[in-house]
Amino acid sequence: MLIHALASEMKLEAVTTEYRGHARDLGRQAAESDDIDLVVALGGDGTVNEVVNGLLHAGPNPDGLPRLAVVPGGSTNVFARALGLPNDSVEATGALLDALREGSERTVGMGIAAGTPGTEDEAVPARWFTFCAGLGFDAGVVGRVEQQREQGKKSTHALYLRQVARQFLQEPNRRHGTITLERPGEEPLTDLVLSIICNTSPWTYLGNRPVYAAPKASFDTGLDVVGLSRMSTLTAARYSTQLLTSSPERGVHGKHAVTLHDLDQFTLHSKVPLPLQMDGDHLGLRTSVTFTGVRRALRVIV
């Protein structure tokens, strides 16, 4: 039905992904083609992330790359919803067709993360992310959810909340953080327990409820960072409540919270290997990752 609707308005070639990384390969083929003006990604945030990494494999070039359109098809669809699209795939297709007829598009910034030169992670290839990344606690939660899904569990918000509780109970570094944040011209921030990197706001959704970790984060600026220097039972309860009651005007705040806005580049080092996630995809353990916010990276239909 969706393909038929899109094909009625444009010359369309539909391809179904067959393996992990296939959407990235298709995005790269589109970027290298002289005949493709638009790539439509139908899927969740993981599929969108792969397409974006394919389109940007040679770097940002907004005027020289195909435009991106997204039809949400996952469980959360943060990127599509942050762009203002309906969470329903049929409604989003209608909105997309209207935008194409009206020529409505915008150029958005993206984040990119890579292993830090001079460290053991130096050889880790760079990877783009559309809306968020994390080193430490939240990435551990993502890894737990992926394990549950591999065992046949459905990806629900209840599943995420259960894994948050389990990660907290088994988190070995919650009282003495191992993460240091370094940025040019500033004193390092040390002993962070967790670090969340946001490229837009909201950070995520619980059902229809948006969650604002960094309310000022935007596709039009650099990256925002939220860190916590302590995660005792009391502080965890306090900051969890702040997230659940967050708004576009107020996110995480308090004595043990670190919030940084509109950063072009920074590095996170950890004394021990910690899990890394980007756009909800667990990427294994890292000890040093450099993040860069790239303004005007890609054109998207909105």
Domain match, 92 and 227 both? no
pTM: 0.93
Q: Which residues of the chain fall below pLDDT 70?
A: 1, 174-175
Confidence (pLDDT) at 158: 80
Per-residue pLDDT tens digits for 215-238 = 999 999 999 999 999 888 888 889
Residue that is last in its domain, among 45, 79, 108: 108
Could you tell me the residue range of the domain that residue 8 belongs to? 2-108
Residue that is last in its domain, among 108, 137, 157: 108
Residue 302 domain flag: no
Kindly report the CATH number assigned to the domain that includes residue 245: 2.60.200.40
Do residues 202 and 211 make contact, with C-beta atoms less than 8 angstroms apart?
yes
Domain match, 192 and 262 both? yes
Domain match, 66 and 9 both? yes
- CA distance linking residue 129 with residue 203, whole number of Å: 13
Domain match, 224 and 286 both? yes
CB neighbour list of residue 25: distance below 8 Å, 6 or more residues apart: 54
Kindly report the CATH number assigned to the domain that includes residue 12: 3.40.50.10330
Domain match, 187 and 247 both? yes
Cβ neighbour number for residue 8 with a 10 Å cutoff = 9
**Domains of the chain: total:** 2
Q: Is the dihedral of CA 44, 269, 221, 249 positive or negative?
A: positive
Confidence (pLDDT) at 1: 62
Residue 300 domain flag: no
Domain match, 40 and 182 both? no
Residue 32 domain flag: yes
Confidence (pLDDT) at 206: 86
Residue 301 domain flag: no
Confidence (pLDDT) at 251: 96
C-alpha angle 269-200-33 in degrees, rounded to nearest 5: 95
Per-residue pLDDT tens digits for 20-62 = 999 999 999 999 999 999 999 999 999 999 999 999 999 999 9
Domain match, 146 and 220 both? yes
